[in-house]
Structure 1
Amino acid sequence: MIYKALVKGIVPHIEEEVILEVEGVEFTGFSSVYPYEIEVGKKYPVLVGFTILDELVIRENKEETKELERIGLGYQYYIRGVLQENSIDAGFVLTDEDEYFSEYPYLIGEHVEIKVDRVSIEFLRESV
């Protein structure tokens, strides 16, 4: 799903790192492609996904919460929300571009928690 994201910060020593706010949720993400120069305080159309470097850790979440929770000071996050066929609704939708969720059809529609290594951002040229 395409969102209008507010850029809240750009980290100068790690150029891929950007702090965004989407649907009232602030998080640190990574974007390796910028089709234009981005500026703090402006809004841009984005797709939000996630990166898993080793293996997917997914489990049911009895608390039925929707949120992103940063793990320590690193870039890992717990994403909690409702699992969909190719995305997770954590208050806003994060896409599963690598089709991890296809191995968990029994969890579709359930509240889950997944651990990801980073949140990925794709800045788009198209308008929202």
Structure 2
Amino acid sequence: MKYWAVVKRLDPHIEEEVTLEVEGFEFTGFAFICPYEIEVGRRYPVSIGFTILDELIIREIYEGRQELERIDEGFQYYLRGLLQVDSIDTGVVFTDEDEYFADYPDLIGKYVEMKVDRISIEFLKEDNI
């Protein structure tokens, strides 16, 4: 999904680590594409996704929450939100580009929790949003 994001923090040691605020949610992700220099406090167009390195596990939750919860200090997150056929709405919509959710048809339309290895961020050129 494409959004306008404010850069809140850049890690001085890990070049790809960036903390963004999108739609009132703050999270740290891995900027795998950044075609220009970015600065803290500025707003940029971004595309946001998720990366699964091993196995995806999705489980139903009954609280109806929408949130992003960082796991420790790494890139892993719990995404909690409403599962759709091709996305999960955690307050920020993450599109399922790799069709993981097709394996969970019984959870479509329900609130779920899934663990992702990282949130992927692509900085876009302004004419791509």
TM bin, normalised by shorter chain, reads over 0.9
Q: Does 1:42 pair with 2:42?
A: yes
Shift of 1:77: 0.6
Shift of 1:16: 0.7
> Where does residue 12 of structure 2 map in the other structure?
12
> Where does residue 51 of structure 2 map in the other structure?
51
In 2, Cα distance between the equivalents of 1:32 and 1:115?
19
1:46-89 CA-partner distances (Å, limit 9, x unpaired): 11111111100100011110000011222211000001111110
In 1, Cα distance between the equivalents of 2:29 and 2:97?
16
Q: Does 1:110 pair with 2:105?
A: no
> Number of residues paired by the alignment?
128
> Where does residue 97 of structure 1 map in the other structure?
97
**What letter matches 2:41 in structure 1?**
G
Quote the sequence identity (%): 67
Q: Secondary structure at the match of 2:19?
A: strand
Runs of 4+ in 1 over 6 A off after TM superposition: none
Q: Does 1:76 pair with 2:76?
A: yes
Q: Is the 8 A contact 2:75 2:117 kept in 1?
A: yes
TM-score, length-normalised on structure 1? 0.95
- RMSD between aligned alpha carbons? 1.1
Structure 2 gap ranges (5+): none
In 1, Cα distance between the equivalents of 2:102 and 2:39?
36
**What letter matches 1:91 in structure 2?**
G
